[in-house]
Amino acid sequence: MTLKDRLSQARWTLRRGWFRIWEVENYFTRLEQLAKVGAEINLGYVLIALAAAVLATAGLLLDSAAVVIGAMCIAPFLGPSRAVCIGALFGDRRTFVGGLVKQLFGLFGVGASVGFLLTRLLAARVPGIGITTEILLRAMLTQREQVLGILIAVTAGAAASLAISADPSVVETPWGQIFDTVIGVEIAVSLMPPAAVVGMGMAFGQLSVSRDALLMVVVNVLGLDLVGSALVLAMRGVRRSYLELEKSIRRAAESVLAKAPCLRLVGSQIDVTLLSPKAATVRVSVRSQMGEDVEPTIAEGIARHIEAETGCRCEVSVDLIPCQVHSIL
């Protein structure tokens, strides 16, 4: 590559934003799917949150940092946090509200409730149950705890966004899931222990402890979901307009394929890779009936229709998969 070519490439990189995400297949659609999954409350989420709350409460009462860390390792708050920040950026109110409700339900409906009930039960039957150092660490008693707590929350949120911003599909791989779990631990640091302390303070009649822990939870949720996660994703170019562009390109391609009588849309795959707001590559895998002739310029037709509908210039490749169909319906 000549010096002139390198300078031209450097100018293009700066012009489109070096920190932004391009050239990742189905990037914004995958983000939307991750957010929607993260906003769903299911039995698995409730049971894992329950287990994390019991461990956190026991560790706090035992004054054991190791047990509290164990609770952080299984707390399932990464998914709803993503749903909140991605839902906000995509303007998806249902996903945003669903993620927030899921997050708050896990923290207060499960975490604080378990902290209250388990503490009351143990305090009435087991001697030596009382306020410990680990409990006091989760209450904002000094400016130091406030500042460092916010710093931890924002950093954990930024790390969670960076973990998926390079390529959301990485999360679906085994190694990606391990890294995702590590980031989830960082998020749990700021959420589950103080949420449990909210209920424990009420069980001990120490409302000031509950109030301070509640303030820590609220500040950390804001730091995680908005300041940390959403800000980083916004800087990386996550926009609703790009999501809509991906969907529009896919719909335009589908409309052309639907007009070809020898092609079957069932089982077809249309992958869109945005290169910039005005350019993309489209890879189409579609089934064709054996023995039927397919228009040789179908890729060109798709590219022209996409440009007419969206204003985006595309390089389109079409893979035809011959198939036989028999139906007695």
Q: Are both 229 and 307 inside the same structural domain?
A: no
Structural domains in the chain (count): 2
**CATH number of the domain that 85 lies in?**
1.20.1080
Across the chain, mean pLDDT equals 81
Per residue, the 3-state secondary structure of 60-87, as one string, reads HHHCCHHHHHHHHHHCCCHHHHHHHHHH
- Which of 23-27, 242-246, 305-309 shows the lowest mean pLDDT across its residues? 23-27
Q: What is the pLDDT of residues 49-104, one digit of tens each?
A: 999 999 999 999 999 988 888 888 788 888 888 899 999 999 999 999 999 999 99
Beta bridge partners of 319: 285
Q: Are both 198 and 168 inside the same structural domain?
A: yes
Evaluate whether residue 14 is within a structural domain: no
Q: What is the pLDDT of residues 100-141, one digit of tens each?
A: 999 999 999 999 999 999 999 999 999 889 999 889 888 866
Whole domain around residue 172: which residue ranges?
24-238
Q: What is the pLDDT of residues 157-184, one digit of tens each?
A: 777 777 776 666 655 555 454 445 555 5
Q: Model confidence at 280, in pLDDT bands (50, 70, 90)? A: very high
Is the model more confident about 264 or about 28? 28
Q: Are both 254 and 215 inside the same structural domain?
A: no
Evaluate whether residue 133 is within a structural domain: yes
Evaluate whether residue 5 is within a structural domain: no
- Among 204, 238, 272, the domain boundary falls at 238
| Strand boundaries in 237-323, DSSP class E | 263-276, 279-289, 313-323
